[in-house]
Amino acid sequence: MRFVIAFLVLAAGGFFYWQQLNGDAAPQAQAQRSAVPVTVATVGRQPFRDRIPALGTLQAWESIDITSPVSQIIESLNFDDGERVEKGRVLATLRQDAERAALQVLRARLADARREVTRLDNLAKKNQVAQTELDTARTEVQVLRHQIAEVEARIADRVIVAPFDGVLGLREVSEGALVSTGQRLTTLDDVSRMRLQFTVPARYLGVLRPGMTIIARSTAFADDFTGELTAVGSRVDPIARAITARAVLPNDDGRLRPGLLMELELAGEARDAIMVPEESLQSRAARHFVWVVEGDEARRTEVTIGDRIPGWVVLRDGVEEGQVIVRDGTVRLSGNVMPVRVVPS
């Protein structure tokens, strides 16, 4: 029993001794906590231009596959790989012997039918032939004309021409080959200017405007390419939450090619925005804070951020112009309110 009483007395004495030590240390810790040195900055507006990054794929201004409209043997090919051609240039001719022979027959029959119409017309004026016989002869002339037009269309189908100015791709067939309907002979691209199609997050929908300047670059070239935003899609992808847009890039020197991946940046209209130094921002997962200085204290304030530029962050909400915030020293601040001591920057 004596040992128990002695143990309790010693324990009680130790507790009071520990409490005394901590009681003396608390004011000292509080004193240190109240003297956190920080530098400050005043929240203000600065000129800012939205910069929207994106990835896009180049497309030719016009692009088609040159194909055979019928199954036939290639009689001649009149182009080389990668050749630049003008609209209307004959690229290939398919065999058309049968169609030409049929055309000659129809033309001969048409000439004979016209002579018959002339003969019957003279007789009809003298009432020596029935009007129905003359009408039948005239109908025959019309039918033959339509048949000739049909054969001429079949012949035209066997002469393949360039539908617009552009650059041809690689030749995929040879003269004398039998090609089937729809078989590709080569490709044709108008690369005098390029379409650049890309997607951007839907949150930028209010910023996108036709006429915006874009700067595009590719790892294939050292220099940048400047173009213009021409159209914004009418629908937002409900899965990706993104919208498709299209820009036009000049390509006078022909360096850009369809299918090339481009990194691009859209430059919005210049405006004034509330901006704070990047080092004044504290982030916790998806939440962001700044410390607003009020007298000798700093209060942690949640903010909504926008775009960033090197060294600065755009704030959309949370602080107002003219407020003073901590610039350097945020790493030593914790909790919601901290005493601070402003030092020269």
DSSP string, 308-321: EETTEEEEEES--T
Q: What three-state secondary structure class fits 252?
A: coil
Question: To the nearest 10°, the Cα dihedral for 219, 221, 223, 228?
Answer: -80
**Residue 345 DSSP symbol:** -
pLDDT value at residue 216: 94
pLDDT value at residue 266: 87
> How far is Cα 90 from Cα 99, in angstroms, rounded to an integer?
19
Distances (CA, A) of 43 to 318, 321, 327: 11, 5, 10
The tens digit of pLDDT for each residue in 159-212 reads 999 999 999 999 999 999 999 999 999 999 999 999 999 999 998 888 888 988
Structure tokens at 158: 């066997």
Higher pLDDT, 277 or 35: 277
- Answer positive or negative: Cα dihedral of 99, 101, 103, 106: negative
Looking up tokens 């339509």, which residue turns up? 146
The pTM of this model reads 0.64
